[in-house]
Amino acid sequence: MDKIDTAQALLEAAIDCLDGVSAASLKVDEVSRRAGVNKRMIYHHFGNKAGLVAAARDDQAALLAGARLVTADTRQVLLRLHPELPSITVRPSHARLQRAARVTLAHLLEDPARAGTLRALDAAQLQTFLAELGSLALLGQAPALPTDRSVSEYSQTAEVQENEKKPSFRLSSVSRPKAPEGP
């Protein structure tokens, strides 16, 4: 792996690891394992864990800011939050865009300095920005449907409590595999 490939592999691994955990919970051992490189390479390319996290978050914010699906208002807010972002136009896959939105939202929630920038926005602009990032974070997630390998039975039982005379409902679910069809 050459120098650029190593740095990119570490960056991608860090982004994957940051998706769902806070920066404080990020483990450099896990990042280096996923990237398939020695842990020392993180310090060589990014200085320290904080440098890696900053590079990963900036990469994801740049991806969002350059995405064609993002509105001009959201792009403007992202550029206020990250003034150093390059101006690029990209067409990322839905999965990459979804991951970028989740990582960026988590960053905004963790970073008090960025929260001050968000407070400077008017209410409508902030609401639009957060709604768009939230919808992008959920982009492409199909609703959970039962598989054809299981049959779900739902029963609802109403029990009248003697002392209150109000019905209470209990929802129970039983899932069992379908019987295999024989020859």
Domain membership flag for residue 127? yes
Share of the chain above pLDDT 90, in %: 23
- What pLDDT does residue 151 have? 39
Number of domains observed in the structure of the chain: 1
Question: pTM of this prediction?
Answer: 0.65
Model confidence at 177: pLDDT above 60: no
The CA-CA-CA angle for residues 14, 17, 19, to 5°, reads 110
Domain membership flag for residue 177? no
Domain carrying residue 127: 3-137
Domain membership flag for residue 183? no
CA–CA distances in Å: residue 132 to residues 34, 72, 73, 113, 122: 30, 11, 10, 21, 16
Domain membership flag for residue 93? yes
CATH number at residue 87: 1.10.357.10
Domain membership flag for residue 76? yes
More confident residue, 58 or 94: 58
- The 10s digit of each residue's pLDDT in 132-158 is 888 888 865 554 444 444 333 333 333
Domain membership flag for residue 46? yes
Confidence category of residue 164, pLDDT binned at 50, 70, 90: very low
Please, which residues bridge with residue 160 across strands? 167
Q: Which of 48-57, 71-80, 81-90 has the highest mean pLDDT?
A: 48-57
The CA-CA-CA angle for residues 155, 159, 160, to 5°, reads 155
